[in-house]
């Protein structure tokens, strides 16, 4: 199994920055990619950013130019640097890993518990 723990959320003023982290542990044979989602009150969950095992990144239009996703050299931790935060960024942010836990395992979605980001205006 793969476990994910998000951290770094909190309360921040608009225009400021936060960095979220997603730490993966457990039996990770292969990691296909890490995906950051968020869900705001009354809103549908949306994909914010992603990074593949090859390092390719993608961003939602709403965060492009403000958010940056990156990984550490061990590929076990992924960061989401959030700059120029807006009130509209307020949401619970979830990390999802697509990974295989062993050489015989199918790629599976693993979700973290989420971390709250609140941006005050």
Is the pLDDT at 105 greater than 90? The verdict is no
Which tokens is 63 given? 């965060």
CA distances from 79 to 18, 22, 50, 62, 102 (A): 10, 6, 10, 18, 24
Neighbours of 69 (CB within 10 A): 22
Is the pLDDT at 120 greater than 90? The verdict is yes
Residue 82: name the closest of 97, 65, 61 by CA. Answer: 65
Mean pLDDT lowest among 23-27, 37-41, 96-100: 23-27
CA distances from 5 to 13, 15, 69 (A): 24, 26, 16
Q: What is the mean pLDDT of residues 88-109?
A: 92
């Amino acid at each position: 199994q793969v476990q994910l723990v998000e951290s770094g959320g909190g309360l921040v003023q608009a225009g400021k920055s936060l960095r979220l982290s997603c730490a993966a542990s457990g039996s990770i044979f292969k990691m296909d990619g890490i995906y950051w989602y968020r869900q705001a009150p009354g809103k549908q969950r949306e994909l914010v950013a992603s990074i593949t095992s090859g390092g390719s990144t993608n961003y939602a239009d709403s965060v492009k130019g403000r958010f940056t996703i990156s990984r550490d050299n061990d590929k076990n931790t992924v960061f989401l640097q959030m700059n120029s935060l807006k009130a509209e960024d307020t949401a619970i942010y979830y990390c999802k890993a697509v990974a295989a836990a062993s050489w015989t395992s199918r790629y599976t979605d693993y979700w973290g518990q989420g971390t709250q980001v609140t941006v005050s205006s």
